[in-house]
Amino acid sequence: MSNEVRPQEELIALPAPKTIGDALAAAAAQPPEPVAVAAVEPPPAEPAPKKRVRMPRATEAKGRAIVITSGKGGVGKTTVTANLGAALADAGKRVVVFDADVGLRNLDVVMGLENRVRMHALDVIEERCELDEALVRDRVRRSLLLLPAAQNRDKDEIEPEDMTDLVSELTEQFDFVLIDCPAGIEQGFRNAVVGAQEAIIVTTPEVSAVRDADRVAGLLPNDMPARLIINRLRPALVKKGTMMSVDDVLEVLRLELVGVIPDDREVIVATNRGNPVVDMPGSATGQALRRIAARLLGENVPIPDLTQRKDWFSNVLSKLNFSRADAKG
């Protein structure tokens, strides 16, 4: 873990890194062995310099800041954020996932990084540390970083201007800034949205989630493009007519659909273990998330109709466990 606590030294020792992302790519290319770094250039005798390594400004391609929001809680914002981050990093992009849920942070747990969090976004804003010190690198993906939220603070303690500054600084260093928005539409929501250029609204095919998504869509700035992810779809229930279909949801919300994610109990297991679902081979949920990442990158990946597919597994499951006739005996 010693190599995790010295991002600054790495940055300084590596030959002329242009951005953090470049430095990361370089760090990923060579084995992250602090001893080897030290052998090339012995560390200075005085304590590590506290000055921020200023990144060159305004490369022609600034990163995209996308807020992932929903209104209703528990629809999968954090899981979607973590997994899209992983999938985008796999596509060679430099990604930072930013937990904006001050006081109720969870992105660190979902990514399995909770023990590596040292500083957080509020420390950066209040200048107790540099941005680089607060970023936590993913355990597996070197180009995926987490900016954690403060856990023992209030959402009202951040000003919208601070968020705008912080997000814009992140977009200079990363290709993608994914902002995990808190539930609700209070100050925490407004802070999470203010620095973003695009929004992804996550909903589930349930009336209450759809209603909250509609409310949130109305609260986003008019010029902010918003796209929709429908999460936790159960094709078997849609066919039975007890769950809203994708078309039902779209009829209410009238947003551009960027993906449909089937419900999968594997997600709970993966989340509890801090592993991304996109890493689970054969998981329909993981595949759907990877397709969404591809669409975010501009690839033309069709959205498959999940209800049309003969999903034998859920069929078998519904026959064994959940069919109503069975339950009523």
Partner 1 sequence: MRGNIFVITSGKGGVGKTTTTANLGVALARLGKQVALVDADIGLRNLDLVLGLEKRIVYDVVDLAEGRCQPRQALIKDKRINGLFLMPAAQTKDKESVSETQMARVAHSLGADFDVVLIDCPAGIEHGFRNAVAGADEAIVVTMPEVSAIRDADRVIGMLGSRRARLVVNRVRPDMVRTGDMLSVDDVAEILGREVLGVVPDDEEIIDTTNRGQPVSLDPSRRLSAMYAIMARRLMGEDIKPLEIDADGLWTKLRRIMVGQR
- Binding residues (CB under 8 A) for partner 1: these are 71-75, 78, 103-104, 106, 109-110, 151, 154-156, 182-188, 206-209, 211-212, 215, 234, 237, 242-244, 265, 268-269, 271-272, 321-322, 326-329
Phi, psi of 198 (to 5 degrees): -135, 160
Residue type, 326: D
Taking the complex as a whole, the smallest distance from the CB of residue 101 to partner 1 amounts, in Å, to 8
Taking the complex as a whole, the smallest distance from the CB of residue 269 to partner 1 amounts, in Å, to 5
- CA–CA separation, 24 and 17 (whole Å): 9
Is the CB of 48 or the CB of 219 nearer to partner 1?
219
CB atoms within 10 A of CB 38: 12
What does each C-alpha distance from 162 to 78, 117, 159 come to in angstroms?
A: 22, 21, 5
Taking the complex as a whole, the smallest distance from the CB of residue 30 to partner 1 amounts, in Å, to 34
Asked if 137 and 123 count as a contact pair (C-beta separation under 8 A), the reply is no
- CA dihedral sign of residues 236, 237, 241, 245: negative
Taking the complex as a whole, the smallest distance from the CB of residue 72 to partner 1 amounts, in Å, to 6
Which of 264, 225, 262 is CA-nearest to residue 246? 262
Residue 129 per-residue DSSP state: S
Per-residue three-class SS string for 9-36 = HHHHHCCCCCCHHHHHHHHHHCCCCHHH
Is the CB of 142 or the CB of 232 nearer to partner 1?
232
Is the CB of 102 or the CB of 144 nearer to partner 1?
102
Is the CB of 217 or the CB of 296 nearer to partner 1?
217
Asked if 93 and 204 count as a contact pair (C-beta separation under 8 A), the reply is no
Is the CB of 24 or the CB of 284 nearer to partner 1?
284
Taking the complex as a whole, the smallest distance from the CB of residue 54 to partner 1 amounts, in Å, to 35
Is the CB of 63 or the CB of 188 nearer to partner 1?
188
Phi, psi of 29 (to 5 degrees): -65, -40
Taking the complex as a whole, the smallest distance from the CB of residue 121 to partner 1 amounts, in Å, to 17
Taking the complex as a whole, the smallest distance from the CB of residue 247 to partner 1 amounts, in Å, to 15
Strand 144-147 to 95-99 pairing? parallel
Is the CB of 130 or the CB of 279 nearer to partner 1?
279
Helix 284-296 to helix 77-90 angle, to the nearest 10 degrees? 70
**Which strands, in side-by-side order, build the sheet including 144-147?**
136-137, 144-147, 95-99, 176-180, 64-69, 198-203, 226-233, 256-262
- DSSP assignment of 241-292: TSS--HHHHHHHH--EEEEEEE--THHHHHHHHT--GGGSTT-HHHHHHHHH
Is the CB of 94 or the CB of 155 nearer to partner 1?
155
Is the CB of 131 or the CB of 270 nearer to partner 1?
270
Taking the complex as a whole, the smallest distance from the CB of residue 64 to partner 1 amounts, in Å, to 26
Taking the complex as a whole, the smallest distance from the CB of residue 109 to partner 1 amounts, in Å, to 5
